[in-house]
Structure 1
Amino acid sequence: MPQTITLSPNTQLIKSDVTLPVTDAWFEPGFWQAQNALSGTGNGRGAVWFIHNELGDFVIRRYHRGGLIAKFNKALFLYTGLKSTRPWLELHLLEKMRALNLPVPRPIAGLITTHNGFYRSALITETIANASDLFEMIKAGKSHTLDWNNIGHVIKRFHDHGIYHSDLNCHNIMVDQLNTVWVIDFDKCEQRPINPIWQQNNLDRLKRSLNKESEKQASFTVTDTQWNHFLEGYRG
């Protein structure tokens, strides 16, 4: 279970990896930039920074809202207790999945800053080495090189442990140079009782993401045969 350190009346540090000297400064890109350790940035709902230094390779993600509400409130969430915050829940779930030997990033730490009943937050996890997400690989014309059967088998492993991914899509599944399949970004996800309805909804969401990108990207192609291999791997 994550450990909590109170840094000030309004700031709490949540640590999953107690071996690292994580401080609140770790969540500031400028801290790493001053050490020439800021290796890149990313896009998505939240702001993302990639860190490379002698302690390891990490990714910082600030929690942002999506949808229409983001036009009025981009990063504030109602504070109802530490164990209900996005970083604490995600770190705790990552710890559970690591204990189950599921292929997910190593959880490092989270930071919560509260003010007037709301909070802002950020998360640090370890970067998956030498990996690309399905979107980038398929866009680059490498769909035929992917082991779709194994990807389906890995997703089934998560489902067999009751892991519900709220946004399973082609950006949140990664494959490394050893062809190990990883799943990332577990914000708003949970472990729940096994039920074929939500499991099928997860698969449908992934398929919609593939179809959506194929409509937007001329080079993005997943054949019916490849998707059937995925389903065969999922069904065992």
Structure 2
Amino acid sequence: MPQTIKISPNTILLRSDHTLPISSSWFDPKFWQSQDALSGTGNGRGEVWFINSQFGRFVIRRYRRGGLIAKFNKNRFLFTGLEKTRPWLELSLLEYMHSIGLPVPRPIGGIYVREKGFYRGELLTQTIENAKDLFDIIKTGNSQSLDWQEIGAVVKRFHSEGIYHSDLNCHNIMIDQANKVWLIDFDKCEQRPQDEKWKQANIDRLKRSLDKESNLYTQFNISDAQWRNFLEGYCG
């Protein structure tokens, strides 16, 4: 479980990596910008910043809301206790998955700040080096270079450990230069009892994301044979 460090009455630092001099400033993109270590930004389930520092390469993700509620509340969540905050839950799950050898980003730390019964939070993980997400690889016309059976086999590894990924899509599967398959973004994910229903729902969600992108981008193509290879790898 993450180590908790009280920075102020309302600010709690969560430490997963005990070898790095993590402080609250590590979760502030402006701090890294002042160190010339801010290397880029991105989007996902939250605001994302990429850090290239003397301590290593990291990703900061700020938790934010989706849907209609985001129009008037972008990043505040009801505080119902430390162990129910998003940074705590995701770090705890990442620590467990990392400890049993699942291909996930190495957890570094998190932080949350309470204010009037609500909190906002950030997560810090190590960058997966030389990796691209499935979406980018397919969009550039390189779906045939992917080992679809291996992708299916990796998803199966997570399911065999009871890991439910609430947003399994082509943006949250990454492939590095050694063709290793990784899963990222475990916000609102959890370990569940073994049940074929949620596992099938996970696979269906991935297929819908692939079909959706295929309808949006003419270069984004996946053959029936490639999807069958994925399923064969999963069932393998």
TM range (shorter): over 0.9
Question: Aligned partners of 2:100 and 2:204: how far apart in 1?
Answer: 25
| 2:29 maps to amino acid | P
Secondary structure, counterpart of 1:211 in structure 2: helix
Aligned to 1:124: 124
Secondary structure, counterpart of 2:186 in structure 1: coil
TM-aligned CA deviation for residue 34 of structure 1: 1.0
Aligned to 1:162: 162
TM-aligned CA deviation for residue 105 of structure 1: 0.2
TM-aligned CA deviation for residue 69 of structure 1: 1.1
TM-score, normalised on structure 1? 0.99
Aligned to 2:140: 140
Secondary structure, counterpart of 2:46 in structure 1: coil
Aligned to 2:206: 206
Question: Aligned partners of 1:109 and 1:39: how far apart in 2?
Answer: 19
Q: How many corresponding residue pairs?
A: 236
Aligned to 1:92: 92
Question: Aligned partners of 2:179 and 2:87: how far apart in 1?
Answer: 29
Question: Aligned partners of 2:38 and 2:67: how far apart in 1?
Answer: 29
Question: Aligned partners of 2:75 and 2:42: how far apart in 1?
Answer: 17
Question: Aligned partners of 1:20 and 1:82: how far apart in 2?
Answer: 23
Question: Aligned partners of 2:178 and 2:80: how far apart in 1?
Answer: 42
Aligned to 2:58: 58
| 1:15 maps to amino acid | R
Residue by residue over 1:125-149, the C-alpha shift from the partner in whole angstroms, topping out at 9 and shown as x without a partner, is 0010000000000001110000000
Sequence identity percentage: 66
TM-score, normalised on structure 2? 0.99
TM-aligned CA deviation for residue 99 of structure 1: 1.3
Question: Aligned partners of 1:71 and 1:164: how far apart in 2?
Answer: 28
Aligned to 2:188: 188
Question: Aligned partners of 2:36 and 2:141: how far apart in 1?
Answer: 33
Aligned to 1:219: 219
TM-aligned CA deviation for residue 121 of structure 1: 0.3
2:79 corresponds to 1:79: yes
Question: Aligned partners of 1:50 and 1:71: how far apart in 2?
Answer: 25
Aligned to 1:22: 22
Residue by residue over 1:171-192, the C-alpha shift from the partner in whole angstroms, topping out at 9 and shown as x without a partner, is 0000000000000000000001
Question: Aligned partners of 2:228 and 2:54: how far apart in 1?
Answer: 43
Secondary structure, counterpart of 1:218 in structure 2: coil
Secondary structure, counterpart of 2:231 in structure 1: helix
| 1:148 maps to amino acid | W
TM-aligned CA deviation for residue 44 of structure 1: 2.5
Residue by residue over 1:208-233, the C-alpha shift from the partner in whole angstroms, topping out at 9 and shown as x without a partner, is 00000000011000110000000000
TM-aligned CA deviation for residue 43 of structure 1: 1.7
Question: Aligned partners of 1:147 and 1:49: how far apart in 2?
Answer: 29
Name the Cα RMSD after superposition.
Answer: 0.6
Aligned to 2:31: 31
Aligned to 2:43: 43
Question: Aligned partners of 1:183 and 1:45: how far apart in 2?
Answer: 14
Question: Aligned partners of 2:44 and 2:192: how far apart in 1?
Answer: 26
Q: Which contiguous aligned blocks of 4+ residues in structure 1 show a shift greater than 3 angstroms?
A: none
Secondary structure, counterpart of 1:52 in structure 2: strand
Secondary structure, counterpart of 2:108 in structure 1: strand
Secondary structure, counterpart of 2:124 in structure 1: strand
